[in-house]
Chains A and B, each alone.
Chain A
Amino acid sequence: MPTAVEPQTATPRGLPGENRVVAICGPPNVGKSSFFNRLTGLHQKVANYPGITVEKRVGSLRLEDGGQVDLIDLPGIVGLHPRSEDERICVEVLRGRSDALPRPVAAILLLDSTNLQAHLRMVPGILGLGLPTLVVLNMADELEARGGSVDTEAVSAQIGAPVVLASAVTGAGMQEVARFLQGSLAPARKVELPVINNIPAERKWAHAVVARSSYHAPEPSLWGRRLDRIFLHPVGGPLIFLAVVIAVFQSIFTLAVPLMDAVEGAIGVSAEWIGALLPDSILKGLLLDGVWGGVGSVVVFLPQILILFLFIGLLEDSGYLARAAVIADRSMRAVGLEGRSFIPLLSSYACAIPAVMAARTIENQRDRLATLLVAPLTTCSARLPVYALLIAAFIPERPLIGPFLGTRAAVLLGLYAAGLLAACGTAWLLKSAVLKSKPAPFVLQLPAYRWPTIRSLTFRLIDRSKIFLRRAGTVILVTTIVLWFLASVPYQNGEPPPIGESLAGSIGRTIEPLVEPLGLNWKIGIGLITSLAAREVIVGTLGTIYGMESDEGSPALQQALQAELSFGGAIALLMYFAFAMQCMSTVAIVRRETGGWTWPAIQFAYMLVLAYSTGFAAYRIFG
């Protein structure tokens, strides 16, 4: 049936409404978020594998003519038949059915210029939505570098929409995009497009358009194939993966040490200044013991977090991660999940919250649920300060494999492995009992390899530092201040009480019987309560408590812990933190994503039982 879609060619200018909302859409991993970031100056997460953006995000842009445009970054789609939650969000916004956003007045369809034939197929469907649309052929830099070229005017004439060749990385073509947003780009002449909803017809049409656009496809990248031969090698592939992981963990201990010493030194010096500057007063105690002792002892771990994120950034930006998902597919399948669950699970090494959200890309709802339920068991970066502190205090450093792997890195590796095993085991239980499902076809698109850019890595580290410091300045600061007050009352003879007799102390003693079976005392017990807010809070709490306890300022946290805990108690504490859901934000996000309290409640209880029982066992074994 040769009915044609008539694309509208009006430009966004002159359409009603003050806020001109313009949606950015396109296939996954074509650079939509990079493009959005370049135009709005925001820092949406960008990485080189499909399915990064899973939520709509609005950012505004002021135009030269004084007008303002609200751009929306959307999850990637491969057509207008959404199957997963993230795709549904995108299609809803495009069709103007989103509750949160008005119908866009225009759309920017981003396509990959290095893969024009496949991507042009999207055009009839998107133009059929009836929005004025600019088609941006992104990755112009890559097209050129690999010897390709395209005549955008020829494409434009055939599809009936303006076409711009651009690069979100170099900024090429951005003036034309701005002109489109201002409504001053000449509209293209109407043409008939093939009937939508017929993919073979769309494909034929796309091939014909490309054939008449003097398109020189870029040379296939040879080194991409060579890298695949190495990374997907049956023996070499997994070995390389292991070597990479070991390198990350070892450098968390070796590379980070001088940086941590520097941060620690700076905190110590500034504490002395304050000590000398302020007269003895409540304020001084609060500042030194509460803020410096509490928040400071967490901030020390910033270098280790940044090293972890530097490595994650390298893996994500290069495109290696998608290959790792291919390698992991087999093990994922053994526990009943598909290889795609690997990427959400992997992103929970940063934080469980984006991981729980990333599970949206999984089409099968039961698999999605299983993935988001087990994601908090994998080791997030908030556990790192706790692990690093306890390991440094209780595990003597000895080389295991020459300089490549020491005992401390090995224990850290073991803790990460324990988290992963618990996640997989739990997934298997869930999948074989309550969340059985028929496997859907497993399809994973592999992105092209790219060089990670210094710019992108720097942004990642800056963003990560901001997140870390913001947590230190909010959750951790508030909990330590509250704790400091609880530990300073009731006054005895006009003096703050010894901490054991304070309000905090009596709360601690009340719960002590609960934590005693794990070899922990009441001070750690308080830490377990405060760190329900966020895991690293326990480090701040202990910093405050030990700081208030001793007269000569805060003793090094490590020495204090060595005096308080037996080896078995330390291992029990590590186990507890490996498995317990000490994070209210995760509980909240799981509630939102599952639409009720049932699953987060089950998840919380399950993790608590697992944490308590393994902690108990560890204390029994290690004494």
Chain B
Amino acid sequence: MPGTEPDSLDHLSPGVTAVIAALDFEEADRVRLMELGFIPGSSVSCQRVVPLGDLAIFQVEGTQVALRKETAARITLQPSSAGREPDADGG
């Protein structure tokens, strides 16, 4: 989709990397997600969307983490940070 840049993690397509801007959660949940690697400034890539389910698997800070779509939707991305990851599995 040319022109539409992903603004939150749930819009990141598989194989694309972007940088996390902010986390829109209450404090405790925000801290937990940061402890698991979703830290503003971290680059994150979407590895695959688990079809049927509403989960997606992300690579962030060297670990693979599965998140539900609704959680991913509340993690915003820095504008113009999205780019294709060279070694990603594009599918």
Interface residues of A (CB under 8 A from B): 78-79, 81, 83, 114-115, 117-118, 199-200, 203-204, 217, 220, 225, 228-229, 232, 234, 326-327, 329-330, 339, 440-446
Residues 65-80 of B, flagged 1 when their CB comes within 8 A of A and 0 if not, give 1111001000000000
Cα distance A445–B65 when bound, in Å?
A: 4
Given contacts A203-B39, A232-B57, A330-B52, contact A441 B71 (CB under 8 A): yes
B41 touches A329 (CB 8 A): no
Extra contacts besides A200-B39, A234-B52, A327-B53 (10): CB < 8 Å? A200-B41, A203-B41, A217-B62, A339-B66, A440-B29, A441-B33, A442-B67, A442-B71, A443-B36, A444-B65
Given contacts A440-B29, A443-B32, contact A118 B53 (CB under 8 A): no
B89 touches A220 (CB 8 A): no
Shortest distance from the beta carbon of B20 to any chain A beta carbon, whole Å: 10
A441 touches B57 (CB 8 A): no
Contacts of A199 in B (CB 8 A): 31, 34-35, 39
B42 interface residue per 8 A CB criterion: yes
Contacts of A441 in B (CB 8 A): 25, 29, 32-33, 67-68, 71
Shortest distance from the beta carbon of B75 to any chain A beta carbon, whole Å: 10
A78 touches B36 (CB 8 A): yes
B39 touches A326 (CB 8 A): no
Contacts of B57 in A (CB 8 A): 228, 232, 326, 446
Contacts of A83 in B (CB 8 A): 28, 32
How large, as a class, is the contact surface on chain B?
35 or more
Cα distance A318–B66 when bound, in Å?
A: 18
Contacts of A326 in B (CB 8 A): 50, 53, 55, 57, 66
Cα distance A234–B65 when bound, in Å?
A: 18
Contacts of B42 in A (CB 8 A): 203
A204 touches B41 (CB 8 A): yes
Residues 11-29 of B, flagged 1 when their CB comes within 8 A of A and 0 if not, give 0000000000000010011
Residue B33 contacts which of A118, A220, A443 (CB distance < 8 angstroms)?
A443
Shortest distance from the beta carbon of A103 to any chain B beta carbon, whole Å: 24
Closest 10 CB pairs of A and B: A118-B61, A234-B51, A446-B64, A78-B35, A79-B35, A115-B62, A441-B71, A330-B53, A199-B34, A444-B66
Cα distance A203–B19 when bound, in Å?
A: 14
Secondary structure at the B interface, as helix, strand, loop or mixed, is mixed
Cα distance A220–B67 when bound, in Å?
A: 21
Given contacts A78-B36, A83-B32, contact A443 B53 (CB under 8 A): no
Cα distance A442–B42 when bound, in Å?
A: 20
Cα distance A326–B40 when bound, in Å?
A: 25
Contacts of B35 in A (CB 8 A): 78-79, 81, 199
Contacts of B4 in A (CB 8 A): none
B47 interface residue per 8 A CB criterion: yes
Contacts of B91 in A (CB 8 A): 229
B40 touches A445 (CB 8 A): no
B65 touches A81 (CB 8 A): no
Cα distance A115–B53 when bound, in Å?
A: 28
Contacts of B25 in A (CB 8 A): 441
Contacts of B51 in A (CB 8 A): 234
Chain B residue with minimal CB distance to A234? Answer: B51
Contacts of B41 in A (CB 8 A): 200, 203-204
Chain B residue with minimal CB distance to A441? Answer: B71
Cα distance A78–B91 when bound, in Å?
A: 31
Shortest distance from the beta carbon of B74 to any chain A beta carbon, whole Å: 8
Cα distance A225–B89 when bound, in Å?
A: 8
Shortest distance from the beta carbon of A557 to any chain B beta carbon, whole Å: 45
Chain A residue with minimal CB distance to B66? Answer: A444
Residue B50 contacts which of A204, A232, A443 (CB distance < 8 angstroms)?
A232
Ordered by A's residue number, 27 sampled pairs between the chains whose C-beta atoms are within 8 Å are: A78-B32, A78-B35, A81-B31, A81-B32, A114-B62, A118-B37, A118-B63, A199-B34, A199-B39, A203-B39, A220-B87, A228-B47, A229-B89, A234-B51, A326-B55, A327-B53, A329-B50, A329-B66, A330-B52, A440-B29, A441-B25, A441-B32, A441-B68, A443-B36, A443-B71, A444-B65, A444-B66
Chain B residue with minimal CB distance to A218? Answer: B62
Contacts of A228 in B (CB 8 A): 47-48, 57
Shortest distance from the beta carbon of A380 to any chain B beta carbon, whole Å: 27
Cα distance A114–B67 when bound, in Å?
A: 23
A329 touches B55 (CB 8 A): yes
Contacts of B29 in A (CB 8 A): 440-441
Shortest distance from the beta carbon of B55 to any chain A beta carbon, whole Å: 6
Cα distance A327–B66 when bound, in Å?
A: 11
Shortest distance from the beta carbon of B48 to any chain A beta carbon, whole Å: 6
Residue B66 contacts which of A78, A115, A440, A446 (CB distance < 8 angstroms)?
A446
Residue B28 contacts which of A78, A81, A204, A445 (CB distance < 8 angstroms)?
A81
Contacts of B36 in A (CB 8 A): 78, 443, 445
